Amino acid sequence: MAEVELEDAIERSTKNRAARWPERGGPNRLEPECWPEFQPGFTLAAGSRVFTIGSCFARNVEHNLAGLGFDVPVRRFLDENAGAKGASGDEILNKYTPPSIWQELAWTKAIRDRDRVVRDEDVEPLLLELDDGNFVDMQHRLTNQFGVPKARAIEQRRSLYRLFENAFTSETVIVTLGLVECWRDRATGQYVEFGSYMRKHNRGGRFVFQRLTFAEALDYTRRAVDLLLADGPRNLLITTSPVPLARTFTADDVITANTYSKSVLRAVAGQIAEEYPDVDYFPSYESVMLTKQSHVWANDLTHVDSEFVGRVVGRMVERYVGRGEGLPDAKAMDRWLSFANLVNHGRFDEAKAIFATLDREEKGIAPRFVLQLAEMHLHLGETDAALAHAEQARAQAAAAGERGCHTLFRCAKVYDAAGRAEDAEAVRAGAVAALANPALVLSLIRRLSAPDGSAADFRRLVVHVEERLSDNLDLLSFAIMTLEAQGDIAGAQRVCRTAIRVHPHNADMQARMGHLLVKRGRPKRAVEFFEKALALNPGDAALLRKMTDIHLESEAFEAAQATARALVKLAPDDAAAHLSLASALRRGGKRQDALAHAKRAAELAPDNPRYGRYVEELTKAAEKQTSR
């Protein structure tokens, strides 16, 4: 920040009505909710095109902007692709870190400036070939761990190019900075999204973790902004996503690591807004983080409740647009969103006070909230009104296709509570039958398997995956993982059997069945599946270790020696592999051979005292055997 003369600084502070930290004793901007003051540096035309890029928080912003009548290319793209079986979900667009935002824009602009034709060679550097010949786009998160055919991966990239072209033609761009914990591919120099494929394909230490410094995060953000402004002035809003790290790869507590990450990115966003006259900082981060109310957050304590984001976006639009033509009354919309937010979290007593102030015939707003109205009337014991609104919500959700399925499940709960079990069953059956998009199914599995979800609906959805969507390995894998996490090992095995039947040549599913059998106390049966997995993927060191351990536990020493030798052959410089073989040889009575491998383990890991002690034990045992 440039230097400011003392008198000028005092005068500026005096004129700033928000210059002093709020206190209790009257209405303030911190309690019960935080709404910072901000000064728009530009205006936003009602209905204009707004492009959003960044973390998953951007998806919430898009949804609410589209609901206010803005042209939001990303929302349109997601809605148009929602019903396509095999299409990826919202996660495919998430760009969590400054390097990933810059890379996507740079890739798009280079093609746009050249000829606007995406060639195979433009996409190939972004792809990683898996062992079975499928490909993963390394700059996408959670799209699929099992990959897709190359042609499909390239076509998907072409579709994304057409979307991201809008970043350079939209009147306004909103950037949400998410994380500073990154992964870099040493082979290509690119930053990539973390995925399960990494461990299997990390030969030569290909993937490396990096936590960005302030200078690095600022540099990549500057590069992204420069690209967006290269073709002339454009309105840019920048903010920091309040959505926290779900997991840290540092040694810090995730809470501490998240505070570091958000502090760096908040400082970066402020610096960018200070440097660029066409960029405004929007304080959505502060509104969420400083509002000390539990209903701000979804029950996973990670994602921000959509209706609260709607209130944040509403305030942004109110200040940047004003009372534009076609926009609902800002204060009325805020009341409705606050009401819906409280109902979503079951806080009906608080919602009741707002409910009394609502104009329930308000044409531009009320139809959007008929589900929450149904649930509120039900809570008040007004069954007929609840059912009438539930019918409206059901019709809207059915018209929305697959994206309305979660609403349909909530409608079914209203019917159940009102004693209309047959209608509830019909709604649920219809919702499940309509589901074909894997990403939407995965999202529903997450919601319904949560503690506040519906166990019965979750099980129904898993059966649907088994019977109708079993061609999708990612869905089957997620269902297995979820059932296992719930302690339903038998259910996980059932889905795993389906996966093996439909995908008999998938090593991961054979190995997964083996792990499940181990959990059920059937190690010998587990080995059969591990052997099948190894036949499909002979280079799986983790499986060889697991099999060696199982053989040792069951005192099958010859078998343990065989798998341990295969492990040493695969990883001759792995100290743990040599120690496993030494243990198998020793317990099989081959102490001299065991000693040789124990010594090799100690040579490879001289700083590990356990290995040295093991050598000493074996040496003494061998000496005793010789002296007899």
Query: Does residue 328 have a pLDDT over 90?
Result: no
The residue behind tokens 């805020």 is 334
Domain boundary among 364, 399, 433: 364
Domain count, the chain: 2
Specify whether the CB–CB gap between 180 and 244 falls below 8 A.
Answer: no
Question: Comparing C-alpha atoms, which of 442, 433, 361 is closest to residue 398?
Answer: 433
**pLDDT more than 90, % of the chain:** 57
Here the CATH number for the domain that contains residue 174 is: 3.40.50.1110
Specify whether the CB–CB gap between 530 and 514 falls below 8 A.
Answer: yes
Instruction: Give pLDDT, residue 142.
Output: 47
CA atoms within 13 A on the CB side of 212: 30
- pTM, two decimal places: 0.85
Weakest-pLDDT range from 131-135, 178-182, 265-269, 271-275: 131-135
Domain that holds residue 266: 34-364
Residue count of the chain, please give it.
628
Instruction: Give pLDDT, residue 234.
Output: 85
pLDDT tens profile 450-494: 887 788 899 999 999 999 999 999 899 999 999 999 999 999 999
Instruction: Give pLDDT, residue 87.
Output: 45
Please, what is the average pLDDT of the chain?
90
377 within some domain: no
Cα-only R_g, the chain = 29
505 within some domain: no
164 within some domain: yes
Cα(162)–Cα(167) distance, rounded to whole angstroms?
10
Cα(308)–Cα(264) distance, rounded to whole angstroms?
24
Cα(270)–Cα(546) distance, rounded to whole angstroms?
50
User: Using a CB cutoff of 8 Å and minimum separation of 24, what contacts does 24-33 make?
Assistant: 30/290, 31/292, 32/291, 32/292, 32/293, 33/287, 33/291, 33/293
Cα(440)–Cα(465) distance, rounded to whole angstroms?
12
615 falls in which pLDDT band (50, 70, 90)?
A: confident
Specify whether the CB–CB gap between 158 and 139 falls below 8 A.
Answer: no
557 within some domain: yes
627 falls in which pLDDT band (50, 70, 90)?
A: low
- DSSP symbol at 359: -
Helix orientation angle between 370-379 and 348-355, rounded to the nearest 10 degrees: 110
Here the CATH number for the domain that contains residue 560 is: 1.25.40.10
468 within some domain: no
Domain boundary among 331, 364, 397: 364
408 within some domain: no
| Overall average pLDDT of the 161-182 stretch | 95
Domain boundary among 314, 341, 364: 364
**pLDDT more than 70, % of the chain:** 96
Question: Comparing C-alpha atoms, which of 464, 526, 456 is closest to residue 489?
Answer: 526
Specify whether the CB–CB gap between 132 and 200 falls below 8 A.
Answer: no
Cα(194)–Cα(593) distance, rounded to whole angstroms?
41
pLDDT tens profile 225-251: 999 999 877 899 999 999 999 899 999
The first and second tokens of residue 21, run together, are: 């930290």
- DSSP symbol at 133: S
Instruction: Give pLDDT, residue 438.
Output: 85
Weakest-pLDDT range from 174-178, 195-199, 267-271: 195-199
Instruction: Give pLDDT, residue 90.
Output: 66
Query: Does residue 530 have a pLDDT over 60?
Result: yes
425 within some domain: no
pLDDT tens profile 360-394: 888 889 999 999 999 999 999 999 999 999 999 99
31 falls in which pLDDT band (50, 70, 90)?
A: confident
The residue behind tokens 């996507």 is 104
348 within some domain: yes
